[in-house]
Structure 1
Amino acid sequence: MQTSRVTAERTGTPFPVYENLADTLLAAHDASTGASTGRDSTVAHVLATCAGYAYADAGTLATMMARLGLEANACVQLTQVVDAMYIYSTANLVQSCCGRVVILSYRGTELASIGNWLGDLDSGSETLNLLADDAVETPRVHAGFHRNFRATRWAVDQELTAALQGRSLAEPDRKLEHPMQALFVTGHSLGAAMAVLFALSLSERGANPALDGWLRAVYTFGGPMAIGEPFPAKAAARVGARLYRHVMPDDPVPTLPPAAWGRFAHFGHEYRYTEGQWQRSESAVTQLTRVGEIPKSLLAVLANEQRRASLRYTAAAHGPHHYLATLRPAGRVTEFGDYAAGGA
């Protein structure tokens, strides 16, 4: 297990993007104040940024989150790689300098890693054992996603336990002003699937029950389906109330795995980018039925704009930068320090 720990430096003009961001996150999805319902556009932008830069090193991620408003944050990056098992698991934790807010962000599929792609194709058959009131639910889960999630699971749990004890994730021997009071989980692509598995795993036997109490929300971007039949109705209802999935209309990944590989399904609140804004969808994206759409979507990356517009899906739409661009509020400085046009 490779672990990197850094503390972000404080930023200057034109940052931060959001003043008092820790306070904003602390107030979001807080059931005790009645703020627990509905998607929060600021949270969506912040977590999309965290999910996008989860592909970078710990220092870059810490810098970008400092620019957004979590100045002097502590960032720890946990990485486990086992080539022969198709394990390429990276989990990032960003902790506000006061200690009250922690964001857990899972990295998605690394484009240059063939082994990572093979893990995505391993839909296999593994199960979760979820405690649901008096019963136990045992849904089938995507084997490759589950294996990657498990590879860093207990290291993540140790870091979050330290945060609950009010310790700095960058300097574990140093006590902070506050213990963790709000946990947000996010991820793009494979990272989105791992984020969902993390939230569900809080119901597993042996899980730390305190973490479920502090979990505010899970925001995912371009995530594939991770849960198969039998569908865990009770656990999905518990997690689904706090799950906000974002789907670009021509992104093929949310339709995967294809139906030919077994039955999988999405749950939670789904938002699609329609007519220039993110809108709540009454129905979830369903599985791809025509496998031939997959190579077409990959080749669409090389097509011209006219040809790309004629295709149902294009892999280009899956990029985390596309999600981030549409979630960035207009009129606010970007994480790069300019004023590029934002989405809704």
Structure 2
Amino acid sequence: MKNEHLWPGDGVPNLRVEDRVTNTLQRAIAHFPEEWAAAAAASTRAVDLVDSLANVRPGAYDHTAASVLATASMWAYSSNEEIVRMMDRARLPCIGVTLALENQSLLLDALVHFIQSRDGRVAIISFRGSQILPYLNINWLANINIAPEPFHAAGRVHGGFHTGIMPVWPRVKDFLIAAKNGESICHTMQRVAVSRRCPPESWNVDNSASCGEASNVLEHGARRLSKAKLLSVVQALEEALRYKLEALYLTGHSLGGSLAVLAAALIHTEEELRELRPLLRGIYTFGQPMVGDPTFARHFQGEFGNKLFRHIYGKDVMPHLPPRTAGTFEHFGQEYRSTPQGWTSNGRPVGQARIGGCALLSGLGGYLAEQFSVRGLLPDLPAVDWVKERLVPPLLRRQFLFRYSLADHMPINYLRTSRAPIPGSEFL
């Protein structure tokens, strides 16, 4: 009887599929023993993390997810190559595509990283926040372009944030739909041709995509050729075994967090993205300003408020903005505050600062007070001790008297708290 599990010959003896796969893999392992041993040591940890992220219950806060997404939000300020490398170090083997869109006349400078686990089960969209240099004139002008604009589903939102998400959203949506259907985002990039600067043959060197096609350039001769052939086989196996999307996460720091909230709002209002809604496991934001007015906040609290986890470190000033002088804005979702042990739920959300300029000046004062000690400028002499204690204004001696701090807004603080209590792990 003819065996139905045979491959076509094409000059190769017909063998059972199981035998042929086994023989091929055994030869590959024998040819590259060191590489396979290293991969085996790391694969278990990677699978565990992917499983953990894929199995998070929608609406449940997950400390592992917070740590991974804090990493993605901090390294969103870097290149595509760097964020993919750092996610790999965080034990999430992945591929990544970065979408950039700039238009100075619109005060638009958007950068979005789309991270996909190699098996396709988990996707992370990380929005970059405001950069200080060399984008001071664009990002920060967008931040102060507060005049509310109508959001098509409900209420009004920060004008600069609205402009920051809408032009880039059609591109993001292409990748979302493809990932949902089990397509590699690298193939999506080729299909939709998002950037002429990243042709398929240069994916391995262009910063706008990290798809893992590059072989080790230190290899030479026949070994390098064999390794390249093996890599092409592995890539084919990855494609054959790729799953459809099981879990989607949105994240961002500062402005990036606000864009992540708007992205979630778009997913919950666009009919063609309806199937993605149950896949959205969480929106984890760090130092996020308020996005919209009370109407917007209350409407989307009912849509995905149980999945929105806002993190606030110390006296970070940004979650208190925009100020009341710019109109009425309101937070929604679940709020988490920093402690020495990590993040803890805070039942009452922070409110708006009264005057934006005063809040920022207070934040700057808090930053300077943390960095410099006025007492340290005075000599250590007995006669001066009385001056230190009596005449140095308490406002300059005591950092904690400042209500806000710009130093607390730094993304490194959020990453360290997410990884507490392991000092230095944010760089591993």
TM-score range, shorter chain: 0.7 to 0.9
Higher strand share: 1
> Is it true that 1:165 corresponds to 2:181 in the alignment?
yes
Structure 2 residue aligned with 1:54: 76
AA partner of residue 145 (structure 1): F
Which of residues 315, 318, 327 is equivalent to 2:418?
327
Which stretches of structure 1, 4 residues or more, deviate above 4 A after TM superposition?
A: 9-19
Distance 1:332 1:23 in 2: 26
Distance 1:14 1:22 in 2: 16
Q: 1:223 to 1:331 in 2, by over 3 A?
A: closer
> How many aligned positions are there?
315
Q: 1:191 to 1:212 in 2, by over 3 A?
A: same
Structure 1 residue aligned with 2:143: 120
SS of the residue aligned with 2:132? coil
Larger Rg: 2
> Shift of the alpha carbon at 1:12?
7.8
Structure 2 residue aligned with 1:106: 127
Q: 1:275 to 1:219 in 2, by over 3 A?
A: same
AA partner of residue 73 (structure 2): A
Structure 1 residue aligned with 2:54: 26
For the 8 Å contact 1:16–1:67, the answer to whether it is kept is: no
Distance 1:254 1:325 in 2: 19
Structure 2 residue aligned with 1:227: 292
Which of residues 99, 114, 118 is equivalent to 1:97?
118
For the 8 Å contact 1:15–1:333, the answer to whether it is kept is: no
Distance 1:15 1:331 in 2: 21
Distance 1:17 1:193 in 2: 35
> Is it true that 1:156 corresponds to 2:156 in the alignment?
no
* 1:294-326 deviation line (CA, Å, top 9, x unaligned): 123124433326543331111011011000011
> Is it true that 1:302 corresponds to 2:368 in the alignment?
yes
Q: 1:159 to 1:100 in 2, by over 3 A?
A: same
Q: 1:289 to 1:67 in 2, by over 3 A?
A: same
Distance 2:59 2:269 in 1: 25
Matches within 5 A, 1:279-298: 279-291=344-356, 292-298=358-364
For the 8 Å contact 2:363–2:404, the answer to whether it is kept is: yes
Which of residues 124, 143, 146 is equivalent to 2:162?
146
Distance 1:120 1:43 in 2: 28
Q: 1:66 to 1:332 in 2, by over 3 A?
A: farther
Q: TM-score, normalising length from structure 1?
A: 0.85
Which of residues 227, 230, 242 is equivalent to 1:177?
242
For the 8 Å contact 1:200–1:236, the answer to whether it is kept is: no
Structure 2 residue aligned with 1:312: 403
SS of the residue aligned with 1:265? coil
For the 8 Å contact 1:18–1:68, the answer to whether it is kept is: no
SS of the residue aligned with 1:264? coil
For the 8 Å contact 2:415–2:426, the answer to whether it is kept is: no
Distance 1:12 1:245 in 2: 36
Structure 1 residue aligned with 2:217: none
Distance 2:296 2:44 in 1: 40
Q: Say which is worse superposed, 155-164 or 291-300, in terms of deviation.
A: 291-300
Which consecutive unaligned segments of at least 5 residues does structure 2 have?
Answer: 1-34, 191-235, 374-396
> Shift of the alpha carbon at 1:128?
1.6
> Shift of the alpha carbon at 1:216?
1.1
* 1:62-86 deviation line (CA, Å, top 9, x unaligned): 0000011112x11010010111211
* 1:180-203 deviation line (CA, Å, top 9, x unaligned): 111011010000000001111123
For the 8 Å contact 1:167–1:179, the answer to whether it is kept is: yes
> Shift of the alpha carbon at 1:18?
5.3
- Measured on the aligned residues, the alpha-carbon RMSD in Å equals 2.5
> Shift of the alpha carbon at 1:89?
0.8
Q: 1:91 to 1:199 in 2, by over 3 A?
A: same
> Shift of the alpha carbon at 1:336?
2.9
SS of the residue aligned with 1:77? strand
SS of the residue aligned with 2:352? coil
Distance 2:304 2:335 in 1: 13
Q: TM-score, normalising length from structure 2?
A: 0.69
Q: Percent identity?
A: 33
> Is it true that 1:129 corresponds to 2:152 in the alignment?
yes
Q: 1:145 to 1:108 in 2, by over 3 A?
A: same
> Is it true that 1:86 corresponds to 2:107 in the alignment?
yes
Q: 1:267 to 1:235 in 2, by over 3 A?
A: same
SS of the residue aligned with 2:404? coil
Higher helix share: 2
Structure 2 residue aligned with 1:6: none
For the 8 Å contact 2:258–2:288, the answer to whether it is kept is: yes
Distance 1:52 1:13 in 2: 29
Which consecutive unaligned segments of at least 5 residues does structure 1 have?
Answer: 1-8, 30-35, 131-137, 338-344
Distance 1:310 1:17 in 2: 49
